[in-house]
Structure 1
Amino acid sequence: MSFKLHRPLFLLSFILAFSHISLAQIGINLGQTDQWMKGAKAAIERSDYETANSIFRNLIDSGQQLPEEMPYLFAETLFQLKQYDNSSNFLNKYLELTGFKGDHYEGAQELQQKLQAPLKEIQECQLCDRRGYRFKTCFTCEGKRQIEQDCNYCKAKGVVGCSKCSGSGMITKMNIFKIVEYFECERCAGKGRLTCPVCEGSLKEVSSCKTCNGSGKLSSEDLCDHEEHEHIEVKTEATR
């Protein structure tokens, strides 16, 4: 016995089945997000901001839709961890998304006020980058901003071929009788080579350090306290 499956009914069944799977998956994702948010809030309540920070970052990395209040709570967490630049970024995102209608609008306004002083301190500090992380000495140039290396122009030979005589030491001229005559190259005195104009024969060249772009410093992972630290030399067996 055969029968025909009506096309509209078949399409409707397919759509419903697909929708069922999608809604189920969405339910799982929302459940996971809800658990993460509850865990982060509990961590904030007990002032465990490191744990809250870790949870929020896991939530961001998951690619799931973020709850509306998440940027604000993350901004508060980052403020407590003294990551003021990151805190400001997430706070601005919260206000951009919710405006004055957000549940945490008043708290966001207060946080903006609290951020003004530390952000100004970061901008004025010469010891840290614009995110508030302390500079460290460049490991390549050791803070000298420049490095000495083999001359690239002459390949550390100290001399280069004379361009006037093509390295032969001789140049040719045709006299009035159309006879080719050979003369010693005046530029290189017949040697066919010249002292390298870059290293001046030293075989070495000095150039800006590419690791730190000539600044002599790199950003570290340490938050800056905006105070000079006394450098204490640690003596080793080799330096004693």
Structure 2
Amino acid sequence: MKKRPYLLLLLLFLSFGLFHSFSSYAQVSPNLGTTSAMLEKASSAMDNGDFKKANGIFRDIIESNQPIPPEMPYLFSKTLFELGQYHNAQSFVNKYLDLNGFKGSYYKQAKALQAELAHPLEEIASCEYCDARGYRYGTCTTCHGEGKSEQSCSLCRGRGVIGCSRCAGDGLVTKKNVFNIVEYFECERCSGKGRLTCTSCHGTLVETDFCPVCEGSGHILTEELCDHTVPEK
């Protein structure tokens, strides 16, 4: 019987390929047990009324880049609702219903949560003291709420003077006489200096413009959830 070394090599190659594929799958396959265990801890924290702890665990699950359990968006939205983060709660409960539909284990609870969110979201939309997410505005510390601030003049760049546009900064202008000969005259606009007092800051070196921090609104965002009452001055 003749030996067929090429068959042996082929078998070895196939065996190595299958082993390598299995090893690669084992390395990249998602660790479902990790997220399930974390979800149980978050649910336990919710049962104990510790929604801040649950919030932290849910965020850890998201940042872990592991597969998210299908029921987590609802549980997270409920946690956010209890913490007063109504805008984020709406996003996650809507996501839960989009993913699971009426077949989801928390379908009825999710629909009830949507109804509960309607009123606080209306309050946020009509409130002038917070942004669309419900976070209260704070007074801008740069312009002190005025929306404008003094800045280095953008036209003269803080020099107080600009070049004369009539003589291009030379201090002289040219004219042709009746004999078509070019003659030089002192620029009347700048009196031969070639420079003019800045027309924007008038030599003060600064100009008043929209505050670069709050962009003229007079307020900045804070991490404080708004209670929709007039802020104390």
TM-score, structure 2 normalization: 0.90
Measured after TM superposition, the shift of residue 99 of structure 1 is 1.3
Structure 1 residue matching 2:14: 3-state secondary structure: helix
- Structure 2 counterpart of 1:84, one-letter code: Y
Q: 2:60, 2:124 → 1: CA distance?
A: 28
- Residues 1:221 and 1:168: Cα distance change in structure 2 (over 3 Å): same
Residue aligning to 1:151: 153
Give the RMSD, CA atoms, in angstroms.
2.1
Q: 2:146, 2:87 → 1: CA distance?
A: 29
Q: Stretches of 4+ moved more than 3 A in 1? A: 1-4, 23-27
- Structure 2 counterpart of 1:63, one-letter code: N
Structure 2 residue matching 1:5: 3-state secondary structure: helix
Gaps of 5+ in 2: none
Measured after TM superposition, the shift of residue 203 of structure 1 is 1.8
1:122 to 116, 121, 124: 124
For the pair 1:11 / 2:8, whether they are aligned, the reply is no
Q: 2:13, 2:171 → 1: CA distance?
A: 90
Q: 1:195, 1:25 → 2: CA distance?
A: 69
Gaps of 5+ in 1: 232-240
For residues 212-234 of structure 1, the C-alpha deviation after alignment (integer angstroms, 9 at most, x for no partner) is 11111111011111111333xxx
TM-score, structure 1 normalization: 0.88
Q: 1:74, 1:196 → 2: CA distance?
A: 58
Structure 1 residue matching 2:8: 3-state secondary structure: coil
Structure 2 residue matching 1:222: 3-state secondary structure: strand
Residue aligning to 1:180: 182
Residue aligning to 1:226: 228
2:51 to 49, 52, 57: 49
- Structure 1 counterpart of 2:219, one-letter code: K
2:42 to 40, 43, 59: 40
- Residues 1:32 and 1:147: Cα distance change in structure 2 (over 3 Å): same
For residues 95-141 of structure 1, the C-alpha deviation after alignment (integer angstroms, 9 at most, x for no partner) is 11111111111000000000000001001111111111111111222
Measured after TM superposition, the shift of residue 46 of structure 1 is 1.1
Measured after TM superposition, the shift of residue 192 of structure 1 is 2.0
Identical counterparts, % of pairs: 49
Residue aligning to 1:106: 108
Q: 1:175, 1:8 → 2: CA distance?
A: 102
- Structure 1 counterpart of 2:45, one-letter code: A
- 1:68-79 aligned at under 5 Å gives the runs 68-79=70-81
Structure 1 stretch 61-70 or stretch 167-176: which is displaced more?
167-176
Q: 1:169, 1:25 → 2: CA distance?
A: 75
Structure 1 stretch 83-92 or stretch 204-213: which is displaced more?
204-213
Measured after TM superposition, the shift of residue 39 of structure 1 is 0.5
Q: How many residues align?
A: 230
- Structure 1 counterpart of 2:143, one-letter code: C
- 1:129-168 aligned at under 5 Å gives the runs 129-168=131-170
Q: 1:150, 1:5 → 2: CA distance?
A: 81
- 1:187-206 aligned at under 5 Å gives the runs 187-206=189-208
Residue aligning to 2:172: 170
Measured after TM superposition, the shift of residue 17 of structure 1 is 4.9
Q: 2:26, 2:139 → 1: CA distance?
A: 53
- Residues 1:102 and 1:156: Cα distance change in structure 2 (over 3 Å): same
Q: 2:23, 2:166 → 1: CA distance?
A: 81
